[in-house]
Amino acid sequence: MTVRISLFRQELGVRRFYAWRRLRLLAAAVQRDLRSSEPAQIVLCALIGGLVGALVEGMHEAVELLHRLSFRLPPHVLLSVGEHIDRFRILIVPTAGGLVLGLTALIWRRFRHSEIVDPIEANALYGGRMSLADSTRLAIFTMISNAAGASLGMEAGYSQFGAGVFSSFGQYFRLRRADQRVFVTAGAAAAIAAAFNAPLTGAFYGYELVLGSYLPRALAPVAVASVCGTLVQRAIGGARPLFSVGQMIPIDTLSYVLFGAVGILAAGVSVLAMLGVTWCERGIRRVPVPEWMRPAVGGVVLSGIAYYFPQVLGSGHGAIGYHVHTDWAILPLLALLAAKLVASAVSIGAGFRGGLFSSSLFLGCLFGAAVGHILAFFFPALAAQQQAFLMVGMGAVAAAIVGAPFTMVFLVLEATGNFPVTAGVLVGVIMSATIVRLTFGYSFATWRFHVRGIGIRGAHDIGWIADLTAGRLMRADPKLVPTSMSLRDLRMRYPAGSAKRVFAVDPDGLYAGSLDMTDAHDPLVDDAVDACVVADLVEESSIFLLPDENIRVALRRFEDTQTESLPVLAARTDRRVIGYLTEAYALRRYSQELERRRSAELGEQNLFSLGHTSR
């Protein structure tokens, strides 16, 4: 009996092994087929987009529940509306939430101390590779911050988590670099589409901000993910538009000129909002408290502002809908605008996590409403267009801060369905975005990169340049000669035409300079071949490459020195010559990589082929 049981267990183990092996082979086949099949990737984006839509809806419901518990809100009342809030809790919740956030971040850093890579940075530098664990961490921190009433939106958490989910699937299926970047874009697009119930807005958010271009290869995956994310969100939580306009707004021709003026003024508000974040961050860093206590310090300031202006709390979604249908006087609007500017800057500067997407929409809403009131004072006929000015201000400020002009235009179009108003928003957006780009030169995301010392201006893929280093491109057989070698011996070792340049090393084997062999074989020095040594002819001892320097640095150095080859040294403090790189080879490899990357982005294998096709 015991023998039978033993044999049965062995047979069961063998079956399990073969079942496991078949699953592994099937998984490998799926990975291989998906990697080379664009239709399969589109289907996968649709499925994951639906998953992201469900996750975003779950995060949204969780934050609203936390708002009701922490601020004692009635059901279906949004925090940023500023009504029915327990005034005592305004004084304690932001500070307590900041303390919880700081302690949570402190504990988390003990187990995982790594910088969180956001979708733009991932696409620009890392080929779309993101950590799902880090993305989850940011999403949790964003939820804690928003639950505490931080004057920021959840969109940063949504897009980070959505992009992290898509990136994880892409890494599992071992997608190519270009496809991986598209997956990250689709994840962020699906999240934003679900957050605003606006698939066009989500898709163009991905194209403009996360991918940095409108590539044909990315059109279907990103759009499908946005649509599926929106549909799943609607199925779970119902349609949730940011705002609605119940009537057609009369727009005359003169108004479009005024919309352009609103866009010009909105550019100044946008730059002020972005600079304000940096000013507040620097100011809070001067407060003599540990880093983990800075959110609590910011919470104290936020409580003081929110006690008089409770609409600064939260993302601003509810407040936007409130002001679309409520007419405030000019002075309260300006006061609330200033309060929201300061509250948002303090929230980010103190270390609360979140983004300025929704906050910039609310800032623009207040700014547009204020400008509309001022214009109506001088031109009473414009009072009927108050909502139009409100939406133009909203789109213009948000487009300049977020750095996604068409995203804001489509957001208004999807929310209102009013084409004349959308055209007005387009005018304001063009003016504000262009002025900020030409003067300030940054959106909020790229400005934050600049402050952190990361030299990127968008999501365009430049990470591959860092992979093409001198250490990878160099030849490892440099022609080395000692500085003490005579010119005659040098000529004998390298006859005319056998080498273009050699590299001289001192008695310790360290780089001492390079020598052009044309000069060594010059007839003018024939009489000195026995008296001269290599050390008499070497030059450019301070010009070289290091193994970790990328191809752009190498090409710039070739151009500056007007030389055809450069030695590669082991390190700046270790001057051993380990190889050399020629300008011709560096240019050829750079051109090849540019062509390959462009072909992959456009989905064309023979984009640069000069062959003729038969008719």
DSSP sequence for 593-612: HHHHHHHHHHT-SSTT--PP
Final residue of a domain: which of 438, 457, 476?
457
Q: What is the pLDDT of residue 180?
A: 93
Looking at the structure, do residues 410 and 558 belong to the same domain, yes or no?
no
Identify whether the C-beta of residue 113 lies closer than 8 Å to the C-beta of residue 133: no
Looking at the structure, do residues 172 and 206 belong to the same domain, yes or no?
yes
Backbone dihedral region for residue 595 (phi beyond 0: left; psi -120 to 50: alpha; all else: beta)? alpha
Looking at the structure, do residues 78 and 6 belong to the same domain, yes or no?
no
3-state secondary structure of 174: coil
Identify whether the C-beta of residue 354 lies closer than 8 Å to the C-beta of residue 317: no
Q: What is the pLDDT of residue 12?
A: 56
Mean pLDDT calculated for residue range 200-223 = 91
Q: Residue 430 contacts by C-beta under 8 Å, 6 or more apart in sequence? A: 263, 405
The answer on pLDDT for 436 being more than 80 is: yes
Mean pLDDT calculated for residue range 419-426 = 92
Kindly report the three-state secondary structure assignment for every residue of 28-65.
Answer: HHHHHHHHHCHHHHHHHHHHHHHHHHHHHHHHHHHHHH
Average per-residue pLDDT for the chain: 87
pLDDT digits (tens, 9 = 90+) for 83-112: 888 889 999 999 999 999 999 999 888 877
Q: What percent of the chain has pLDDT over 90?
A: 49
Looking at the structure, do residues 548 and 591 belong to the same domain, yes or no?
yes
The owner of tokens 């057609």 is: 248
Identify whether the C-beta of residue 495 lies closer than 8 Å to the C-beta of residue 518: no
Looking at the structure, do residues 287 and 371 belong to the same domain, yes or no?
yes
Looking at the structure, do residues 493 and 431 belong to the same domain, yes or no?
no
Q: Which of 178-187, 301-310, 354-363, 496-505 is least confident?
A: 496-505
pLDDT digits (tens, 9 = 90+) for 114-152: 788 899 999 888 889 999 999 999 999 999 999 999 999
Q: What is the pLDDT of residue 31?
A: 63
Looking at the structure, do residues 23 and 144 belong to the same domain, yes or no?
no
Predicted confidence band of residue 610 (pLDDT cuts 50, 70, 90): very low
Q: Is there a domain that residue 354 lies in?
A: yes
Q: What is the pLDDT of residue 381?
A: 84
- Which domain covers residue 28, as residue numbers? 1-36
Q: Is there a domain that residue 612 lies in?
A: no
Q: Which of 23-37, 134-148, 453-467, 558-572 is least confident?
A: 23-37
The answer on pLDDT for 603 being more than 80 is: no
Q: What is the pLDDT of residue 612?
A: 46
DSSP sequence for 556-575: HHHHHHT-SEEEEES-SS--
Q: What is d(CA 601, CA 457) in angstroms, rounded to the nearest whole number?
A: 19
Looking at the structure, do residues 311 and 400 belong to the same domain, yes or no?
yes
Q: Is there a domain that residue 615 lies in?
A: no
Predicted confidence band of residue 2 (pLDDT cuts 50, 70, 90): low
CB neighbour class for 304 (10 Å; exposed up to 12, middle 13-18, buried from 19): middle
Q: What is the CATH number of the domain that holds 537?
A: 3.10.580.10
Q: What is the pLDDT of residue 11?
A: 61
| Higher local confidence (pLDDT), 420 or 248 | 420
Q: What angle, 0 to 180 degrees and rounded to 10, lies between the N-to-C axes of helices 330-350 and 294-308?
A: 170
Q: Is there a domain that residue 300 lies in?
A: yes
Q: Is there a domain that residue 288 lies in?
A: yes
The owner of tokens 């991986």 is: 180
Looking at the structure, do residues 185 and 277 belong to the same domain, yes or no?
no
Identify whether the C-beta of residue 57 lies closer than 8 Å to the C-beta of residue 190: no
The owner of tokens 């030409």 is: 438
Distances (CA, A) of 424 to 249, 393, 429: 11, 10, 9
Looking at the structure, do residues 134 and 60 belong to the same domain, yes or no?
yes
| Higher local confidence (pLDDT), 251 or 577 | 577
Predicted confidence band of residue 54 (pLDDT cuts 50, 70, 90): very high
Distances (CA, A) of 354 to 230, 305, 505: 21, 19, 56
Identify whether the C-beta of residue 320 lies closer than 8 Å to the C-beta of residue 243: yes
Q: What is the CATH number of the domain that holds 71?
A: 1.10.3080.10
Tell me how many domains the chain contains: 4
| Higher local confidence (pLDDT), 454 or 200 | 200
Q: What token pair was written down for 164? A: 């992290």
What is the pTM (predicted TM-score) of this model? 0.84
Mean pLDDT calculated for residue range 361-384 = 91
Looking at the structure, do residues 227 and 360 belong to the same domain, yes or no?
no
Final residue of a domain: which of 457, 482, 513?
457
Q: How far is CA 525 from the centre of its chain?
A: 59
Q: Is there a domain that residue 57 lies in?
A: yes
Final residue of a domain: which of 410, 436, 457?
457
Predicted confidence band of residue 615 (pLDDT cuts 50, 70, 90): very low
Q: What is d(CA 136, CA 165) in angstroms, rounded to the nearest whole number?
A: 9
The owner of tokens 């002009």 is: 405
Predicted confidence band of residue 300 (pLDDT cuts 50, 70, 90): very high
Q: Residue 240 contacts by C-beta under 8 Å, 6 or more apart in sequence? A: 197, 233
Q: What is d(CA 171, CA 122) in angstroms, rounded to the nearest whole number?
A: 13
The answer on pLDDT for 607 being more than 80 is: no
Q: What is the pLDDT of residue 613?
A: 45
Q: Is there a domain that residue 610 lies in?
A: no
Looking at the structure, do residues 43 and 5 belong to the same domain, yes or no?
no
Identify whether the C-beta of residue 162 lies closer than 8 Å to the C-beta of residue 191: yes
Q: Is there a domain that residue 244 lies in?
A: no
Q: What token pair was written down for 265? A: 């003024």
